[in-house]
Amino acid sequence: MPPSSQPPTYSAAVAPGALPLIGHGHRLLRGSAEYLASLHLHGDLVAVRLGPTTAQVPCHPDLLNQVLADHRLFDKGGVFYDRARDVAGNGLVTCPYRDHLHQRRLVQSAFRRSQLERYSLAVQAEIASATADWRPGRVIDAFPVFHGIALRTLGRALYSTAIDAEQARGIEHAFDTVLNGLFRQMFLPGPVRRLPLPSNLRYRRELAYLHDATRQLIATHRSAAEAGGTGAGGSEPDLLAALLAARDDDGARLTDAEVHDQVITLLAAGTETVAATLTWSLWRLSQHPAAAEQVRTELARALPDGRTPGWADLPQLGAVDRVVTETLRLHPPGWLFTRVTTAPTVLAGRALPVGSTVVMSPAAVSRHPAAYLAPAQFDPDRWRPERLTPAARQAFLAFGTGARKCVGDLFARAECVLTLATLLSRHRLVPEPDADLRPVPLATVLRPRRLRLRVAPH
């Protein structure tokens, strides 16, 4: 076999610096994405310790794609999903292989492109409402503001109408507590999680509220739909109506419990992730004037009349889309997931027995030098078609890949692009000097500790 046709070989290593009891938790606490992105310096498959659990981290794009492509061998499970199921039950993101195809077919029907165009109206309505009183001099706390906007946007898409303001604040607070506590719960031994500690009690209280609020929203939707039309807001079908009406090829539908789990899954996966992407995008643009000017020029051309952009404008918003993509590469919101091997296998020459934990992290490959030139540099134009390489495309895994790729990826991307385009066509947002860009320790979604933006004259 000539050298050029030999299959590549991959190295396996053990990450140094583990501490008793917590393993490498202290490294993740100090800088999750940066630490994971640095692991490739040790090898292509690196063993780390997450508390008492030894986990394998694929640090080469080829290996991570291999794991993602075989979701039967590398099934959803491990310490992350054990805790995530407390929140999302057996929803599409958390369910094991045996349940996935049934759920995917049903949920996918709610995300057809024709439906997405209708859902995008929720983005337009919410961003117009949320920013109507923004004036020069106002200072916004970026992530909380965008989290609220994303939650209310998804609420409009789910239920046709805006969620009651008080209920939206309650759900937002509950998600903040639960999602920020998820990784802490993950690292704690079972006996400690069951102790009546204030943090444990707060976590359980907000988790119970989240489930109760979801049941109430579904019940209200059903009553309104029966009384007045297809969706809660009238005759137009909304996202929840699409979930309730979905049937697979055999005529099976989602059970009430499955609908509940899917709604929680959508709210969890589609709010903080969007808020973090918007927050990081605006920070990056503030530090890269050339990229910001390219966006402003594009918006002036695409939206000369100052109108709110909609679904039909997306093809003309390529520069904004590239900013979102590059932000997702450098700051993938979901930074750590776990899979469990269902059979003995070998990865990078390392034998993995049944039940081995594999950590999947887009951050571990998104700055890999084999995939990107100047990988630490913010360069939206690397995503122009003439510059895009197969290696770069393969290493971009913010939405996953294969059969378990994020079902709402097109909607999430459109929401980010339309929100950014609306904001930047009407406002100039300047970071306050007190920004703290260190990641929130062990937050489920990678986001800065503090970024406040001042509305400046446009």
Element (H, E) at 47: strand 45-50
In the numeric block, which tokens belong to residue 199? 């943090």
Burial of 447 from C-beta contacts in 10 A (0-12 / 13-18 / 19+): buried
Nearest to 180 by CA among 448, 450, 446, 444: 444
| Contacts (Cβ under 8 Å, ≥6 apart) of 317 | 298, 299, 302, 309, 417, 418, 421
Nearest to 93 by CA among 269, 234, 250, 227: 269
pLDDT in tens, 429-452: 999 999 999 988 878 899 999 999
pLDDT in tens, 185-232: 876 777 888 889 998 999 999 999 999 999 988 888 878 767 765 554
Compute the average pLDDT of residues 250-268. Answer: 87
Compute the average pLDDT of residues 341-348. Answer: 97
Residue 218: the pLDDT is 86
Q: Which residue has the higher pLDDT, 358 or 230?
A: 358
In the chain, how many H helices and how many E strands? Answer: 16, 13
Compute the average pLDDT of residues 318-339. Answer: 95
Per-residue pLDDT band for 302 (boundaries 50, 70, 90) equals: very high
Secondary structure (H, E, C), 161-210: CCCCHHHHHHHHHHHHHHHHHHHHHHHCCHHHHCCCCHHHHHHHHHHHHH
Compute the average pLDDT of residues 63-72. Answer: 95
Per-residue pLDDT band for 5 (boundaries 50, 70, 90) equals: very low
Q: In what order do the strands lie in the sheet with 452-456?
A: 139-141, 452-456, 428-431
Domain spanning 3-456, CATH class:
mainly alpha
Percent of the chain with pLDDT over 70: 95
What pTM value is reported for the model?
Answer: 0.92
**Are the C-beta atoms of residues 277 and 261 closer than 8 Å to each other?**
no
Residue 169: the pLDDT is 84
pLDDT in tens, 145-172: 999 999 999 988 887 666 777 888 888 8
Residue 353: the pLDDT is 98
How far, in Å, CA of 103 to CA of 248, rounded?
9
Residue 162: the pLDDT is 66
How far, in Å, CA of 387 to CA of 407, rounded?
27
Beta-bridge mates of residue 58: 45
Residue 51: the pLDDT is 78
pLDDT at 237 over 80: no
Per-residue pLDDT band for 2 (boundaries 50, 70, 90) equals: very low
3-state secondary structure of 93: coil
How far, in Å, CA of 63 to CA of 68, rounded?
9
In the numeric block, which tokens belong to residue 151? 């939650």
Compute the average pLDDT of residues 108-136. Answer: 91
* Averaged pLDDT of the chain: 90
Compute the average pLDDT of residues 37-61. Answer: 94
Compute the average pLDDT of residues 367-382. Answer: 97
Compute the average pLDDT of residues 298-311. Answer: 93
Q: Which residue has the higher pLDDT, 427 or 185?
A: 427
pLDDT at 38 over 70: yes
For the chain, give every domain's residue range. Answer: 3-456
Compute the average pLDDT of residues 313-323. Answer: 98
